[in-house]
Structure 1
Amino acid sequence: MATHRLTELPADVLKLIEDVIGPALNVETVSAGYNNEIAARLHLGNGGSVFVKGLRQDHPRVWTQQREADVNPFTRGLAATLRWQIRRGGWDLLVFEDLGGRHADYSPGSPDLELVLQAMQNLASATSPADLDLKTMPQRMSTYVADPADVRFFEGRALLHTDWKPDNVLIVDGQAQLVDWAWASSGAAWIAPALWVIWLIASGHGAGEAESLAALHPAWDITPAHHIDAFARAQERLWELIAHADRPDEWTHKLHMAARTWAERRR
């Protein structure tokens, strides 16, 4: 579920940040994203800028802040570098380098598709550290599989971003960079392109076209088809439940229909 976003950075929060990084000349709130109460770009006196995201320390999903902080050292070259974590005044704030750039375009024919796929392939070589407290994809999908034994198909040590919404992919200097690692997990490497399939369908691709793009990922063709089939069925159930939750947004309905379309193709 989306988290209520503050439309202005509270003065007390700005002071907490400035105490650490120095005075800000301008504050630009960011509307994209759903997981944080605060998301803002701060333009600094030295001519630079940073991106800040945060939640109150009593927020039920404040754990996602620590998840992002823990994952960040293992995402070099694929994500913004975390510069500070501030836990004061009842807030948990993450201050990242400001990547700039623009959101990825997933529409058919977009030149961004190749860049996203390259980032996905680079991520496939990143192994989830054994001492990092991440949920596994078998754990996350256990509620949605038709057969409990199917979760074994999703096992793996790859570090997975899992939220391939276009807003979470920035195109910066001809490369795709991933932001918002709140739902990072570990699992089989082919799950990244499998999740991308649903977003591609929701962005206007046919199911076959979306799978053709996913198949360019090196992990796809070496994965047994019935493993992907089971994941498609689980995703259909997941998005059906989300779509029937309170006040689903337009994208939720699109993703529900996309997940259904993909699952039907796999059947």
Structure 2
Amino acid sequence: MEEASVRPGWETLPRAVRLWVQEQAGTQVLEARTTAGGLTSGVATLASMADGQRLFIKAAREDDDTAELCRAEARAASALPVAVPAPRLRRHAEMDGWTVLVFDAVDGRHPSLAPSSLDLPVVLSTVAGLSDLLTPCPLQQAPAVGDDLAADFTGWQHIASTPPSDLDPWAQRHLEQLVELEQQSLLALDGSTMLHTDLRADNLLVSGDQAWIVDWSWAVRGAAWLDAAFLLPQLVLAGHTAASAETAMRAIPAWREADSTAITAFAAGLTGLWEAGSRNPTSPSALRAYRRRAAAAGRAWLRHRNPVWGGRRALTGRWR
């Protein structure tokens, strides 16, 4: 089972903040339940109100890194068109040393992305519709994805400078090629679509034939196919082969139109981020554990794609 951060509960919030939330709702909180999952350490509470309303409250101390993620999420959520299947942001406040967001709660559960899951077609259909709803990018201050990822897509370069003894043997054999691909990974990501960039099961909710996308903290502007590319390794983590995950992505028009070489370079950049991040001793243990698993999924994806070097497809034996 994937590790998750231990979240503080509703009662952690200052009394003034709890009273403010209830004032905004116009009624009292009857029950507050801390939600499971996620990789950050802020408050994430599902609140049942006395008049039947259900709210989702996110909060972080102003001196915590999570606070800036909350602010970014508030900006993104405020810009989303009504047609985008995402929770409505009711209020955002900075008070008593806390950043607080209040959303309408969504009735749903986190989907299974496993190969046989009935949730998967629902998720893919929702992701397929995002590019039409979010092009042009409605978030005016959204950073360009290349600028946002530039510092992060250097993982293989850092690893190559001092290769660790426990590096995966396949990655060790092809480290030079992975660095080369990583250096090309930002060249074809530009675009005018607002992107989520963190599509995982715990950022999705499903109810019947509807999927909802939550937590837009990492929203950027870029090529329309990128959210499918961020989602694909999550299918591998859920039990798909890389080949079946790529087949599933063909349900998304933007993916079908994407340049294959650009996808491969992006896969290298993303996998390098995870590989290097899994070795960062300053990161929370839950995040390092997730990145170890994600890096393995990324390597499987790269092995499947048989990248092109120097204009020629690499020999299968060289890559596998």
Q: Fold match, TM over 0.5?
A: yes
Match of 1:245 among 276, 280, 283: 280
1:9 aligns with 2:11: yes
Give the one of 287, 293, 304 matched to 1:265. 304
Q: Distance between the aligned counterparts of 2:36 and 2:256, measured in 1?
A: 38
- The separation in 2 between residues aligned to 1:7 and 1:24, in whole angstroms, is 14
Residue 261 (structure 2) pairs with residue 254 (structure 1): no
1:51 aligns with 2:46: no
Q: Residue 136 of structure 1: CA displacement?
A: 2.1
- CA 153–230 in structure 1, closer or farther in 2 if over 3 Å, else same: same
Cα offsets for 1:122-160 (capped at 9, x unmatched):
111112547622222212332426464541201111111
Cross-structure match for 2:88: 81
The residue number in structure 1 matching 2:147 is 139
- In 1, Cα distance between equivalents of 2:242 and 2:262: 17
* 2:109 pairs with 1:107: no
Q: 1:254 to 1:148 in 2, by over 3 A?
A: closer
Output the amino acid matched with 2:80: F
The residue aligned with 1:95 is 102
| Residues 1:165 and 2:200 aligned together | yes
Cα 1:174/1:245, change in 2 over 3 Å: same
Q: Counterparts of 2:137 and 2:245 in 1: how far apart (Å)?
A: 30
Distance of aligned partners of 1:130 and 1:122 in 2 relative to their CA distance in 1, 3 Å threshold: closer
Q: What residue in structure 2 maps to residue 233 of structure 1?
A: 268
Counterpart contact for 1:36–1:54, Cα < 8 Å: no
Unaligned runs of 5+ in 1: none
Contact 2:9 2:45 in 1 (8 A): no
* Residue number in structure 1 paired with 2:130: 123
The structure whose Rg is larger is 2
In the comparison of the two structures, how many residue pairs are matched?
Answer: 266
* Paired position in structure 1 for 2:34: 29
Where do 1:63-74 residues align within 5 Å? 63-72=68-77, 73-74=79-80
Distance in 2 of aligned mates of 1:129 and 1:252: 29
- How far the C-alpha of 1:168 sits from its partner, in A, is 0.7
Q: Does the CA-based 8 Å contact 2:185-2:268 persist in structure 1?
A: no
Aligned partner letter, 2:129 = N
Give the SS at the match of 2:254.
Answer: coil
Match of 2:241 among 194, 199, 206: 206
Letter of the 1:241 counterpart: A
Shift of 1:64: 1.8
Matched, 1:153 2:157: no
CA distance in 1, matches of 2:276, 2:32: 37
Taking the TM superposition and a 5 Å limit, the aligned residue runs for 1:191-202 are 191-202=226-237
Deviates more, 1:219-228 or 1:247-256: 247-256
Determine which structure has greater relative contact order: mean sequence separation of CA pairs < 8 Å that are 6+ residues apart, divided by chain length. 2
Identity %: 27
2:174 is matched with: none
TM-score with structure 2 length normalisation?
0.77
SS where residue 188 of structure 2 aligns? helix
Deviations 1:16-61 (A, max 9, x none): 3223323111111112222341110111111111000011122234
How far did residue 223 of structure 1 move?
Answer: 1.7
